[in-house]
A and B are shown apart, each in its own frame.
Chain A
Amino acid sequence: MIRQSQFSPFSSFFQGMLDGVPIALGYFSVSFGFGITAVRAGLSVLTATVISLCNLTSAGQAAGVAIMAAGGSFLEMALTQLVINLRYGLMSLSLSQKLDESFHTPRRLLVSYGITDEIFAMASSKEGKLSPGYMYGLILIAAFCWTLGTYLGAVAGQMLPASLTSAMGLMLYAMFIAIIIPPARKSRSVMVVVITAALCGLLFHYSLPWVTSGFAIILSGVAAAAVGALVLPVNEEPEGEAA
């Protein structure tokens, strides 16, 4: 009755690793950009690598590094991570409905570490229930490449000439653009939200410069998402079968 769990733990682990390869390759390039950004912000190679290993999230880490560089408060750090990563809560909620019966609490505590946008997308598109072995394989290869990419990006950021690393400082932001523009082109409501958030970001930076970067991101992001939800609520269930 449960397709995933009919395989042995090892073969589902291997299947997870296999499904994780395209995610891991994407993560490698994004985290390379993060490593360069982190070193440019004044962090050490070790700090950048540890941040990637224990956070496994691109937008949250980029905002976190900006707060560390600006000497922001711990409260600002906590609130920023809460808002930026709130979406993982919904993804975790959705995935929790899809776990097979061998997922006891310690296994859930382990797998919680690795719920990202891409891993959520891959796991939720899988037919049938999810086994622990499959999730371990998927997360392990993705987290490994995320951490390795950060390390290599940070090392490169320290060794390459400044003219090159300053241009590479654009990589992470260019990837954010590559993430938000295609859906914004296809959906008018996403476009409205993206433009509202960008205008809020400009407003805070130039009109209210005393608002620190983390709070500016929180307020702009919450305001733009709330405008979208009020004016253009999503019709379909975002997580398909989850309801």
Chain B
Amino acid sequence: MSIVIYIAVMAGVTYLIRMIPFTAFRRQIKSRFFRSFLYYVPYAVLSAMTVPAIFYATGNMATAAVGTVVAVLLAYFDMPLIVVALAASAAAFLSGMIL
């Protein structure tokens, strides 16, 4: 039952954030601070979600670290999302067989 409530809360809040400005709100946000803040939020949140959770994502810190290094290097060289994701997983899988 609590799963249903969790999903309802998640989906409800997410929908309202999208719906209220789309249907009702008509003014532009003028505050430079607030606009900058909203611009940075996705990067800040994704970074805080990734560190340190990524080091626990495989259940083995050593293989996770290998995968993380591969992901950072490939992302630095602008590889597509799917390439970064598959290469990081493959690196973690292969290092798990060796380590």
Contact = CB atoms under 8 A, between A and B. Distances in A.
Interface string B73-99: 011101111101111111011001100
A169 B18 contact: no
Interface of A: 26, 29-30, 33, 37, 43, 47, 50-51, 54-57, 59-64, 66-68, 74, 77-78, 81-90, 92-93, 95-96, 105, 108-109, 111-113, 115, 117, 163-164, 166-185, 189-190, 193-198, 200-202, 205-206, 213, 216-217, 220-226, 228-230, 232-234, 237-238, 242-243
Interface of B: 3, 5-7, 9-11, 13-15, 17-23, 25-26, 28-29, 32-54, 57-60, 63-64, 67-68, 71-72, 74-76, 78-82, 84-90, 92-93, 96-97
B57 A170 contact: yes
B29 to A, nearest CB: 7
B75 A81 contact: no
B81 to A, nearest CB: 5
A229 B42 contact: no
A181 B20 CA distance: 32
Contact of A220 (B11, B14, B18, B44): B44
Given A89-B20, A177-B75, A221 B44 contact: yes
